[in-house]
Structure 1
Amino acid sequence: MDISVVIPLLNEDESLQELHDWIAKVMQSNRYSYEILFIDDGSTDTSWEVIEKLSQENPQVKGIRFQKNYGKSQALNAGFKEVQGKVIITMDADLQDSPDEIPELYNLIVKDGFDLISGWKKKRYDSKIRKNLPSKLFNAAARKTSGLKLHDFNCGLKAYKKEVIKNIDVSGEMHRYIPVLAKNAGFNKIDEKVVVHQARKYGVTKFGMDRFINGFLDLITIWFISKFGKRPMHLFGLLGTIMFIIGCTFAFYLGLDKLFFNTTGRLITTRPEFYIALTTMVIGTQFFLAGFLGEIILRTKTDTKRYSISSKINL
Structure 2
Amino acid sequence: MDISVVIPLLNEQESLTELYQWIVKVMRTHSYSYEILFIDDGSTDGSWNTIQTLSKEDSNVKGIQFLRNYGKSQALHAGFEAANGEVVITMDADLQDNPEEIPELYDLITKDGYDLISGWKKKRYDSVIAKNLPSKLFNAAARKTSGLKLHDFNCGLKAYKKDVVKHVDVHGEMHRYIPVLAKNAGFNKIGEKVVLHQARKYGKTKFGMNRFVNGFLDLITIWFMSRFGKRPMHFFGLIGTILFIIGFCFSLYLGIDKLFIAKKGRLIAQRPEFYIALTAMILGTQFFLAGFLGEIMLTSKRTKERYHISEKIHL
- TM-score band by shorter chain is over 0.9
Larger deviation: 51-60 or 114-123?
A: 51-60
Q: Which residue of 2 aligns with 1:150?
A: 150
**1:203 & 1:220 partners in 2: Cα distance?**
32
Q: Which residue of 2 aligns with 1:93?
A: 93
Q: Which residue of 1 aligns with 2:207?
A: 207
Shift of 1:77: 0.2
Q: Which residue of 1 aligns with 2:222?
A: 222
Q: Which residue of 2 aligns with 1:62?
A: 62
Shift of 1:220: 1.3
Report the number of matched residues: 315
| Identical pairs, percent | 77
Q: Which residue of 2 aligns with 1:161?
A: 161
**2:152 & 2:230 partners in 1: Cα distance?**
28
Shift of 1:238: 1.3
Secondary structure of the residue aligned to 1:96 is coil
**TM-score between both structures, scaled by the size of structure 2:** 0.98
**1:202 & 1:60 partners in 2: Cα distance?**
25
Stretches of structure 2 that go unaligned for 5 or more consecutive residues are none
- 1:1-40 to 2 correspondence within 5 Å? 1-40=1-40
Deviation digits for residues 81-117 of structure 1 (CA, Å, limit 9, x no counterpart): 0111010000000000000000000000000000000
Q: Which residue of 2 aligns with 1:133?
A: 133
* RMSD of aligned Cα (Å): 1.0
The code of the aligned residue for 1:250 comes to F
Shift of 1:264: 5.4
**1:218 & 1:10 partners in 2: Cα distance?**
21
Shift of 1:300: 2.8
Which consecutive segments of 4 or more residues in structure 1 shift more than 4 A?
A: none
The code of the aligned residue for 1:95 comes to L
Q: Which residue of 2 aligns with 1:83?
A: 83
Secondary structure of the residue aligned to 1:200 is coil
> Is the 8 Å Cα contact of residues 134 and 211 (structure 2) preserved in structure 1?
no
**2:93 & 2:158 partners in 1: Cα distance?**
13
**2:160 & 2:70 partners in 1: Cα distance?**
23
Deviation digits for residues 13-42 of structure 1 (CA, Å, limit 9, x no counterpart): 000010000000000000111100000000
**TM-score between both structures, scaled by the size of structure 1:** 0.98
**1:6 & 1:281 partners in 2: Cα distance?**
51
- 1:296-311 to 2 correspondence within 5 Å? 296-311=296-311
Q: Which residue of 2 aligns with 1:110?
A: 110
Shift of 1:211: 2.5
The code of the aligned residue for 1:180 comes to V
Stretches of structure 1 that go unaligned for 5 or more consecutive residues are none
Shift of 1:302: 3.3
**2:209 & 2:125 partners in 1: Cα distance?**
19
**1:305 & 1:79 partners in 2: Cα distance?**
15
Shift of 1:177: 0.4
Shift of 1:56: 1.3
> Is the 8 Å Cα contact of residues 7 and 37 (structure 2) preserved in structure 1?
yes
Larger deviation: 225-234 or 126-135?
A: 225-234
> Is the 8 Å Cα contact of residues 96 and 200 (structure 2) preserved in structure 1?
yes
